[in-house]
Amino acid sequence: MIPLELATIAEITGGRLSDGANPHAIVDGFVEFDSRKISPGGLFIALPGKHVDGHSFAAAAVEQGAAGVLAAKDVGVPAVVVPKAAKRDGDNSDLAANDPDGSAAGVVAGMSKLASYVANHLTHNHGLSIVGITGSAGKTSTKDLIANVLSAAGETVAPPGSFNNEIGHPYTVLRCTESTRFLVAEMSARGIGHIAHLATIAPPTFGVVLNIGSAHLGEFGSKENIAVAKGELVEALPAAADGGVAILNADDPLVTAMDSRTGARVVRFSAEGNSADYYATDVSLDDVTRASFTLHSPGNAPQRVNLNVFGAHQVSNALAAAAVGIESGIDAATVARALSSAHGVSGNRMDVQTRADGVTVINDAYNANPDSMRAGIAALGFTAAGRPGARSIAVLGEMGELGSDSVSAHHELGNELARYRVTHLVAVGDNDAMTALKDRARDRGIRVEAAADVEEAADLVNGILSAPPAGEEGWYDRDVRDVVLVKASNALGLWAVAGSLLEGHSMRGDKNLESNFGDGER
């Protein structure tokens, strides 16, 4: 964070100094929620939660070196105490659900005010460029690609994983310093007005809208309502004369229609050959669905891009990232090199690893909606199709937040499994939606196993992998080649299945990606 006195932080947040706080003490370290991560000069955010109240760790944070604490009450150590906040009507966030007296909302409001001050100071005094990104699927993967591209031109801050809500967004903004040139901000929505609020904290100059899918229909009611919410990003952009750029997916009609909602300059990208400023030709996939393509951009020679991230859908994400980079002034050749060198950094997101025995595990378990499920199943099917005799095993859990469409959406997944010739389904969980998935998969000729929990799912997958493929003798001596996809909504923690399959195995180096950590994507 930029250096600020505690007195200044109190003024910005509307708080008061307490417990002998030195008004001239300088906060010049990182803002943290975890007292164990505090470094000297940092600011500890005492956030009350469902299971743990951060106020209880204020003293430990100061002992660790925190210059002060942002809190909703006196904590016995130097602090800025901010007022509690009333719950907003219609607030369906986890924060509101576990905040009976408004303490957590008050702390988050204070942190947001501080982040807004920092973002505006850096934008106007140090040339910070802010990129906002939203969409129903692919935000985190695209954020990682954009960050890799922009890093070629200067220091870039992007959220770890999917820190894209009312807590993670200001936390990410406060990672910026005077030397930060670019901030890449994911923006999620649970309802109308959420993205508009996030955009006030860190006003973007560039706005990327990826797609309007069927994720969170239970919250929004229709794709049209989702489009209203996602389009708040382009409405928040400055006018074209002031540098605003809206980057829209030409392959999604609900996204392209957003051009009438912004005064920014509009550029479009397309992976499907639609009329666009940025588009791909000559697309090919390798044996683990890493895409190569020729990038076309306005006024530049075509550039070949060889992605190291997995799935055909990454072509569209890479085009969005290319548009951000080139519109930011980076030359096309540098953008192509940056895209080709990018690896996934957000954990459990299309993390593809191949064991020494040939089994490939596609860990895409951090979240799931109908669009990302289709992409994951396609990656599974394509990878297995290039390996004669390989079994393709989908370990799937429930897609959450689909409301009344949940059963039909899971039924349709059974058709997707058959479309991509998936041989086995391990279905984790027992409810009407998962029953619909299992029944449809069986109807389409897929071998179905039911697991009550993560541990049973891992055992079932290991049992499938250890059994001989039909009609194949001497299989113990062969390269196994089987492919496993692990995917479900965040709450199931299904990534533990992937961890179990990889534990104790050496990896084939060229297919082994490093992972970090993530928050839920919306």
Cβ within 8 Å of residue 287, ≥6 positions away: 383, 386, 387
The token pair that represents 439 in the structure block: 């029944």
One-letter amino acid identity for 312?
A
- Residue positions forming the annotated binding site: 135-141
Q: Looking up tokens 């519109």, which residue turns up?
A: 327
- Give the CA distances from residue 3 to residues 37, 170, 208, 249, 286, in Å, rounded to whole numbers and listed in that order: 18, 16, 31, 39, 48
How are beta strands 4-5 and 26-27 bridged, if at all?
Answer: antiparallel
DSSP codes joined into one string, 134-172: E-SS-HHHHHHHHHHHHTTTS-EE--STT--STTHHHHH
The Cα 1–Cα 170 span in angstroms is: 11
One-letter amino acid identity for 479?
D
The Cα 439–Cα 190 span in angstroms is: 31
Contact (Cβ atoms closer than 8 angstroms) between residue 424 and residue 391: yes
Instruction: Provide the H-helix boundaries in 291-450.
Output: 314-327, 332-341, 370-385, 406-419, 432-443
- Residue positions forming the annotated binding site for ATP: 135-141
Choose among 119, 111, 140, 38: nearest CA to 365. 140
Q: Which helix (H) or strand (E) holds 121?
A: helix 103-126
Sheet bearing 156-157, strands edge to edge? 156-157, 182-186, 129-134, 206-209, 245-249, 265-270, 278-285, 290-296, 303-310
The Cα 154–Cα 90 span in angstroms is: 40
Instruction: Provide the H-helix boundaries in 269-366.
Output: 314-327, 332-341
The Cα 516–Cα 87 span in angstroms is: 33
The token pair that represents 336 in the structure block: 């192509």
DSSP codes joined into one string, 444-466: TT-EEEEESSHHHHHHHHHHHHH
